[in-house]
Structure 1
Amino acid sequence: MLTIFDTIKDIAIKIDHEIKTEDLGYSDSSNTSGEEQLKLDVKSDYIVEQAFKDVSIVKALVSEEKDGVLELHADGKYTVCYDPLDGSSLADVNLSVGSIFGIYEGELTGENLVASAYVVYGPRIELVLATKEGRPKHYRAQDGLFNFISEITLKDKGNINAPGGTQQHWAEYHKRYVDALFKDGYRLRYSGGMVPDLHQILLKGGGIFSYPGTTDRPKGKLRQLFEVLPFAFIFEQAGGHAINEQGIRLLDLVPAHPHDTTPCFFGTTYEMVALKALYRMKI
């Protein structure tokens, strides 16, 4: 596992360099969802793929940017599912973006997620690693090396509200929930990037990130294997919660396809209790 984490650290330094120096325009290709790919998306995906080709414990790679599974080492133990550059469209306006990695052993389900990681590319490069042992660990890069900062532990209640999705497509009960948070003094913190928004909630000690099913995207927008499940793992290891719109634990989901999406909610205990009550979820 340490080999995989060391590889992610190397990947982070290389992708950060590309963000700061390379063309931010669109490529001539589209991803599996039919979205135009930025040149940074393509380059970042290539960097990840090349880095893991020499890691013998990695059996296969599954990328948010490509369809199917890339087989690497028949004797490998782990499959790495990743989003090479989440929020890449924010790079040209100089907002923070990130990379997300889920490490699975066996079938690609939440139950078989054994570790996860994400990188934030902002004024500084920051990395969070999580395994089943202990709290997630927060690192910051300096001179190409990642220095340990602290373990991450969420409080029971936060004050950050990061609501995703276009408001005109929200269900009425979801709007009531978001409005209630603001009336309770919560601060709006939503950049349009999953990685920086969830990173802020984790480091500030709590709050809620919501991306519900909407009228235009009833199954949600965020992809389970590359985005949702890795963050669900990190939130639970930090003492938080991660559920879907039915109150089902996200890590209990079994994706039918590598690019399946789901509504998702990440937060601390207080916000999740209120969410379940308003949605009348049966846990």
Structure 2
Amino acid sequence: MTDTDTTDQVESIAAAIDAVVDVVARAAPEIRSGLPGRRVAAEGQNPSGETQMAADVFADDLLCERLGALDGVGTYASEERETAVDVGSGVSVCVDPLDGSSNLEPNAAMGTIVAVYDGPLPAAGRDIRAAAYVLYGPITTMAVAREGSVTEYVIHEDADYDVLTEDVRLPDDPTVYGFGGRVPHWVEPFEAFAADVESDPSLKLRYGGAMIGDVNQVLTYGGIFAYPTLSNAPEGKLRLQFEGYPVGYIVEAAGGASSNGRRSLLDVEKDDLHARTPVYVGNQELIDDLESRFAE
């Protein structure tokens, strides 16, 4: 490969990332406006055995159509589909179309997660070139990580979007935590770590049932989010390609750390598109403490 080939490839990937981010941002108001009439279960389950909501299918179909039509996107994969879809030539895009769709019924926060990989799927964590999430909260925002930096945008109802914060960084003094999974199923190392966190008066519980909402709290206030390994689910609940890698990439780009309990999420390797992983993300010192418990 020549230097020119390398430059052309880098520029091609950068252009594809720009296009993916633009499509996701501009699709967000349409996804959000389509939620009220789709708060019911769809027929069937996703590949992880979870009941699909009509909103999951709607968001997935919309994103597959829009992202799959982009020049520079070669593969589209979704939590809602068993296999990846060949849509052309270029980067691989993995999507969780509606993270936290179980929050539709109580009308709580949810989001969309996107990861762009330079490699075939299932990709390795170090193949990720950009990641983003949209948060459907009181306002619609989007966090985008690429080239070691995170930018936060506000997305307007007309599908335009503006920069809110450049170079987002986790605050040095963490103040929030959120832990998933049923407490009786927590394993001893995590149970001991959680007890120490919960006894720290400087940390407050923030857990809303949609990972992206909880991760956004960590990015905003500093702290830790975990969906841990469980006695009845050693690999946890979250999917590596669709949730673990992109969230780890975003938090690390914002100066934090990620882990599966022993190493960075980006260094975890699995050969199944829908493989699961424990997820721990947050301030470095909290992740270091967490990993030390599993090393004992």
Q: What TM-score, normalized by structure 2, do the two folds share?
A: 0.90
Tell me what 1:160 maps to. Answer: 176
Q: Given the alignment, which residue of 182, 187, 191 partners 2:204?
A: 187
> In structure 2, what residue type is equivalent to 1:15?
I
Tell me what 1:97 maps to. Answer: 110
Q: Given the alignment, which residue of 136, 148, 158 partners 1:121?
A: 136
Shift of 1:23: 2.6
SS of residue matched to 1:40 = helix
Alpha-carbon displacement from aligned partner over 1:201-257 (angstroms, at most 9, x marks no partner): 1012x1011111101111111000001100111011100000112x21110122211
Shift of 1:47: 0.8
Q: Given the alignment, which residue of 175, 189, 193 partners 1:177?
A: 193
1:71 aligns with 2:91: no
Shift of 1:278: 2.4
CA RMSD in angstroms comes to 1.2
1:142 aligns with 2:159: no
Q: Distance in 2 between matches of 1:278 and 1:30?
A: 36
Alpha-carbon displacement from aligned partner over 1:109-165 (angstroms, at most 9, x marks no partner): 101000000000111111011101x42000112242111011211133402111111
Identical counterparts, % of pairs: 31
Q: In 1, are the aligned partners of 2:178 and 2:205 still within 8 Å (CA)? A: yes
1:202 aligns with 2:219: yes
Q: Distance in 2 between matches of 1:173 and 1:276?
A: 9
Unaligned runs of 5+ residues in structure 2 are 1-16
> In structure 2, what residue type is equivalent to 1:10?
R
Q: Given the alignment, which residue of 50, 74, 94 partners 1:81?
A: 94
SS of residue matched to 1:136 = strand
Tell me what 1:28 maps to. Answer: 43
Q: Tell me: CA distance 1:156–1:280, structure 2 relative to 1, closer, same or farther (3 Å).
A: farther
Q: In 2, are the aligned partners of 1:156 and 1:269 still within 8 Å (CA)? A: no
Tell me what 2:284 maps to. Answer: 269
State how many pairs are aligned: 275
Q: What TM-score, normalized by structure 1, do the two folds share?
A: 0.94
Alpha-carbon displacement from aligned partner over 1:182-217 (angstroms, at most 9, x marks no partner): 21121111111100000111012x101111110111
1:57 aligns with 2:51: no
